[in-house]
Amino acid sequence: MITFQKESYTKFFSKEFMELYKLHWEEIGAFDKQKIKLLPNWDVYRAMGRQGNLITFTIRDSEILIGYNIFIITNHHHYRNTSLAENDILYLKPEYRKGFTGYKFLNYCVEELKKIVDVITLSMKAEYSFEPIVKRLGFKLTDYKFTLET
């Protein structure tokens, strides 16, 4: 049975999360893996979690972690009276990407976040776009982001 939940940030550092995170990086990896090595600053994530600025959503199949959506909660740096949830990392195992599982998971995250923030932003890799899903959820394209490795 597929379930969605908001979990403590401490689960973010569990063995099951780290195993899925490694699969995520192997599949998607943002940069040239030979040049730029994955080395998260876990101390920053822990600090954000303790301060309540990190929200961890998970998706499980019979209690087995199959995906996550991690958001950083802050005030927008251009509009300081506006609270913002900005997704940091989002992953769903490939075998669960068919049908409406991903849509339902994102919808759950969005509905939970609407209770606490004014604006929600979602980023995605251009090569792994799920733009039709986010548009269906009411998001609109507001920015393009380009990367130059030096």
pTM of the shown model: 0.91
Residue ranges covered by each domain of the chain:
2-136
The CATH architecture annotation of domain 2-136 reads 3-Layer(aba) Sandwich (3.40)
Give the per-residue pLDDT at 29. Answer: 66
Q: Is the dihedral of CA 15, 86, 47, 56 positive or negative?
A: negative
Mean pLDDT per 10-residue interval, the chain, length 150 residues: 92 85 82 77 92 96 96 93 96 94 97 97 89 95 87
How far apart CA 150 and CA 144 sit, in angstroms, is: 20
Q: Are 38 and 29 in contact (CB under 8 A)?
A: yes
Give the per-residue pLDDT at 4. Answer: 98
